[in-house]
Amino acid sequence: MADSNEKVVIVWSSADRDVALSMVMMYTLRSKQRGLWEEVTFVVWGPSARLLAQDAELQEYVREMMREGIVLEACVACADMHGVTEELRRLNIDVKPMGVPLTEYLKEGRHVLTF
């Protein structure tokens, strides 16, 4: 098991597609592919849930992340709020309450990036 210095959690909440494509998705995927982090967790939170549910190109990034072993999670309250819970589950994202898991990630000392 990786120590907390080798773990990163990327929280994506922005509905800005340009930010998603030119930074968030690219960094998340490449950081795992290039071994920059031993463990990468990607959390879809807020309006990013709606954007992901509607955007085929972003969905392809998510599928590639999964193939690389990146853990994908989403906030169920946000997904419900935007009416996209089932769409995210169809992408095989673990849709669940995220307050406690995020707090645990922070307490165990994982690096957390938010976009």
DSSP letters along the chain, please?
---GGGEEEEEE----HHHIIIIIHHHHHHHHHTTS-SEEEEEE-TTHHHHHHH-HHHHHHHHHHHHTT-EEEEEHHHHHHTT-HHHHHHTT-EEE--HHHHHHHHHTT-EEEE-
CATH of the domain at 34: 3.40.1260.10
Please list the rounded mean pLDDT of every run of 10 residues in the chain (115 residues).
87 97 97 97 98 98 98 98 98 98 97 97
Residue 47: domain span = 4-114
| Number of domains forming the structure of the chain | 1
pLDDT at 10: 98
Predicted pLDDT of residue 2: 73
Confidence at residue 1, expressed as pLDDT on a 0 to 100 scale: 64
